[in-house]
Structure 1
Amino acid sequence: MPRVVCPECERRIAAGMVAGRPGKGRLWRHDPTERPELFGYALVSCIGSLEIVDLPTPDEHLEFTDVDEPQPEVEPVGPMGTMALF
């Protein structure tokens, strides 16, 4: 799942897609960063939990790099340009 910055706590949180709204996602429930100091260990969600946000486009998810590896030069040895495997 893509991670999106929460508008409240500014942490990167996973976002699931919203049905019928391409390009939109709902942030997963998460705790505020100051939870232990302010609330003790009670279960309290960040205000930004479950908010609908823009998802990154697919080209932002996957970044491919071009690697130019030298190809080994093998000369075909068979009559039709084939090699024996065994």
Structure 2
Amino acid sequence: MKMPRVECPNCERQIAAGIVAGRPGKGRLWRHDPTERPELFGDALVSCTGSLEIVDLPTAGVQLEFDQDDAPEPVAEPAGPLGTLAMF
């Protein structure tokens, strides 16, 4: 499933939001780093304070779908036996 992107209320970046069970119009932002992380925190792993926050989704109750152009071509199965032997 392709997730909608929503603006984080703290860092204002577009972040993917997963649907919250039981709340069709709401989504939970994925964990992401703050934009000023390298300058303030160095190599420490720090999440944005907007991570995991519940926000309104732009398309409430609709599952986004992949484009059909991206679907892989079906592979043709070989006809007849595969040349294997039964073990038992």
Give the unaligned 5+ runs of structure 2. 66-88
Deviations 1:41-62 (A, max 9, x none): 1000000000000001268x79
Q: Match for residue 26 of structure 2? A: 24
Aligned residues, how many? Answer: 61
> CA RMSD for the aligned pairs?
1.8
Aligned twin of 1:70: none
Counterparts of 2:42 and 2:24, CA distance in 1 = 38
- Partners of 1:36 and 1:54 in 2: how far apart? 29
Query: SS where residue 24 of structure 2 aligns?
Result: coil
Larger Rg: 1
Aligned-pair identity in percent equals 84
In the alignment, the residues of structure 2 paired with residue 57 and residue 49 of structure 1 have an alpha-carbon distance, to the nearest angstrom, of 20
Deviations 1:12-39 (A, max 9, x none): 0000000000110000000000000000
Residue type matched to 1:28 in 2?
Answer: W
Classify the secondary structure of the residue corresponding to 2:23.
coil
Q: After TM superposition, which residue ranges in structure 1, 4 or more long, deviate above 6 angstroms?
A: none
| Structure 1: tracts of 5 or more residues without a match | 63-86
- Report the TM-score, using the length of structure 1 for normalisation: 0.66
Q: Quick check: which one's strand share is greater?
A: 2
